[in-house]
Structure 1
């Protein structure tokens, strides 16, 4: 039998990985490596690097306990080649094995690197997802619009989740209307389960601190789980204690509460420590046993088998250039306050502060605060894309790029979103308490103290009128703009330009 090198990446920490399936522990050799290239091709958050490295080390221990021969390179190994392909070549030379088996990476960058490696590389599809590439291609074929809602319904039928025969449980596919309550006065949930670092994690934290301490983000305290057992405990705590109220407040934001009723299990899911079906079935069981309402469970399951599967489908369907698209021609540089410089905008400040400390922010903070501002201000989408990829613990390009380039920034020209997700400060005020403590006035429409989101909202619509005036979902916006008297419109645009010019000069805004 011909021996193979079995490559396992840091987001492929699943025992049923396709590359491991039907491999032979007596003959094949697992290759895993902590490499500088993967930790720094964008300046990843130190917490993300530490999470991935620690989880990799523990997964390698698990494989060894199962009888696998694992060749593992730690970052500080003096022989470490510094890249995934470099490590494969080193191991091939050491073992005399030139055949490599790999599960498809979640980034075109790595796929192309493996395809170009001077080795015999077999790349298997990553079937930990519920929709294969062919499944998504078949669904997308012939459709003028690739709307997630219709894909989600197919996934419900395929999995049987929340189905009553061939009909959706409760008679409706989507309970989003019930899931848009503004921020509550208080939150009874103490937040996601926290874990005390063990010896393995502490060693990794010291390593990351020494090598990547200059990256944006706070490394300690570190509370994430780094193995499957911990990830599963975190999931079940969420199901028992937070899922019942998750739906009501999933879009809400609070100045002094970073997590509300969110699960914060995406790092574990995207790294392979949890599977999508086990998560969804746990949520469905809570509904069936009367422990969580349908609106909460449906909204939670939709994020996983609907949105998560859908954006992966888009990423691979659209091809390797997707992350570099810029349909609106935005070129403004990313402001320094995305990296923690001071800003008077309370919502931005709180979202960035939380991101710095936790390597996490929930979907509305990403979409309607940092993403919304980036779109309104005309920031270069590739710079915003690289920021999101850098700072979040759950960010891998297959999931991050469609959410940023497509959903947040409309840089894909409308493949994902039927209209730009833009809003004035009124939305943020309705869904959060940020505006109460902001230096700007959310009720002011013009002037130096006016909420910048108010000014930039109209500025965005005005400068992109030719593109969006004919969009039926934006007609009311333009009618409202046209009803303003000319003097007020000129004042709004002037004040928006003053704000943008001040920001471009690097002044505090």
Structure 2
């Protein structure tokens, strides 16, 4: 054997750089299901099932192409990727290993170590799935005092000629966020278009049985599993989104409604992160729909910003900041993650709904993640590494390169530190912490109408914990943000709170951290 070509669970792309020069007569594909990928964090059963089902379908397709595939299933009982690879290196004796750059620092180190232990060279290739290489991002970042996604996004738009009219952005502006912050109002959302769902075939049903047996105490409802697990299914999901959801995506992308988990969102991030979809075809489809007059510019731009902007930006942050990025804690937050994040058992209606659907479906949209589950953890002062581990475990689209910067940096505002660990103002993911009182949730959803807490109160047994903790957050970090250009006004508002009320806020916040009152 010339090359053993390693394909990871989030690299299911037949056009991957790992297959450049692949010779079926001399090379073989290598894949492995190992327990560690579901247990290093307590992975949702839906997440594990999605990865494994997609992997098995990809392997079957490559075998149908006439390729040799060496595949280790979960039933083999191998714990780690490095153990599985080491065993097959010994058995197959390849001359070399080929790997497209993985999305996880931990996995890269493990596979490099396995190859080195056997004296085998590892041909590590660029992952050309992305618009930008890590070197491209490093060049963008070089010499800048402060990194911001907005400037990177504009460069990407210009470089790749996306939503551009000549040298100018379509519509004369780069950002249509102001048009994309609608709420449903008292009447709630209009009829929601059906989501693209795919009944499990025999291969997927086998996976569901295996996952249920191996991880019985992990969260996730496998009876409702209908995620796309093949490229053909992912392409169907893309077409359905562009035709039926994208026209209203922008208008309601920040809105929430109890009992409505899917709304007008794309639900494509899992397929993108598994590489069943290429971001270029996703962006092209959205832009084509706009230019054909089928989708408003604000919706097309808002969606493209998530793919061409945020997705590419967070990958650059991850690979230029690791491994130290994982341990950043700029706000010195050390509270434990509340136990109800694993049960949904809380009196707070917004958290009960968002966590409940997350544990059941492995999915929540970006505002539920940022401004409900993430916001509460930030205000409470939870250790950002614990928040990161939870997000990585529970969401079907979670791969560390995309999840970690979004959680630790954007959601928890924990990445603004120097190399020696001292605070250094804003980090590369966010210029300010995303904080709000319960009034924000009242404005963007119907959760507060059925909740026992009052979002307009900051003290008392019926005060919304989000509101109490918002004012406590400002008090605890008053010195840090007093001169912050985007936070100073909020800190000044704190000065208007009488001293006795500030003491009551602090006392109630302490009680919430001890686990009472929520």
TM-score (norm 2): 0.95
Matched, 1:13 2:12: yes
- Aligned counterpart, 1:42: 41
**Equivalent-residue separation in structure 1 for 2:72 and 2:11 (angstroms):** 16
- Aligned counterpart, 2:159: 158
Out of 260, 264, 271, the residue aligned to residue 261 of structure 1 is 264
Q: Check conservation: 2:48, 2:211, Cα contact below 8 A.
A: yes
Matched, 1:103 2:100: yes
Q: Check conservation: 2:348, 2:453, Cα contact below 8 A.
A: yes
The alpha-carbon deviation at position 370 of structure 1 amounts to: 0.6
Structure 1 unaligned spans of 5+: none
SS in 2 for 1:102: strand
SS in 2 for 1:180: coil
The alpha-carbon deviation at position 212 of structure 1 amounts to: 1.0
SS in 2 for 1:252: coil
SS in 2 for 1:268: helix
Q: Check conservation: 2:384, 2:408, Cα contact below 8 A.
A: yes
The alpha-carbon deviation at position 341 of structure 1 amounts to: 4.7
**Equivalent-residue separation in structure 1 for 2:15 and 2:268 (angstroms):** 19
State the Cα deviation string for residues 89-142 of structure 1 (Å, max 9, x = none): 222222221411111111110111122221322211211111101110010011
* Aligned length, in residue pairs: 502
List aligned pairs for 1:337-486, cutoff 5 A: 337-413=340-416, 414-415=426-427, 416-486=429-499
- Aligned counterpart, 2:175: 174
The alpha-carbon deviation at position 508 of structure 1 amounts to: 6.1
TM-score (norm 1): 0.97
**Equivalent-residue separation in structure 2 for 1:278 and 1:83 (angstroms):** 34
Out of 225, 231, 235, the residue aligned to residue 232 of structure 1 is 235
**Equivalent-residue separation in structure 1 for 2:338 and 2:194 (angstroms):** 31
Q: Check conservation: 1:189, 1:241, Cα contact below 8 A.
A: no
Q: Check conservation: 1:342, 1:508, Cα contact below 8 A.
A: no
The alpha-carbon deviation at position 487 of structure 1 amounts to: 2.5
The alpha-carbon deviation at position 144 of structure 1 amounts to: 1.1
**Equivalent-residue separation in structure 2 for 1:241 and 1:396 (angstroms):** 28
**Equivalent-residue separation in structure 2 for 1:341 and 1:429 (angstroms):** 19
The alpha-carbon deviation at position 500 of structure 1 amounts to: 2.5
Q: Check conservation: 1:81, 1:90, Cα contact below 8 A.
A: no
SS in 2 for 1:459: helix
- Aligned counterpart, 2:423: none
Q: Check conservation: 2:511, 2:517, Cα contact below 8 A.
A: no
Matched, 1:90 2:87: yes
**Equivalent-residue separation in structure 2 for 1:145 and 1:356 (angstroms):** 36
**Equivalent-residue separation in structure 2 for 1:37 and 1:121 (angstroms):** 22
SS in 2 for 1:440: coil
**Equivalent-residue separation in structure 2 for 1:353 and 1:313 (angstroms):** 32
Matched, 1:308 2:321: no
State the Cα deviation string for residues 396-449 of structure 1 (Å, max 9, x = none): 100000000000001102221111111111111111111111111112221010
Answer with 98-107 or 286-295: which moved more.
98-107
The alpha-carbon deviation at position 390 of structure 1 amounts to: 0.2
The alpha-carbon deviation at position 494 of structure 1 amounts to: 2.5
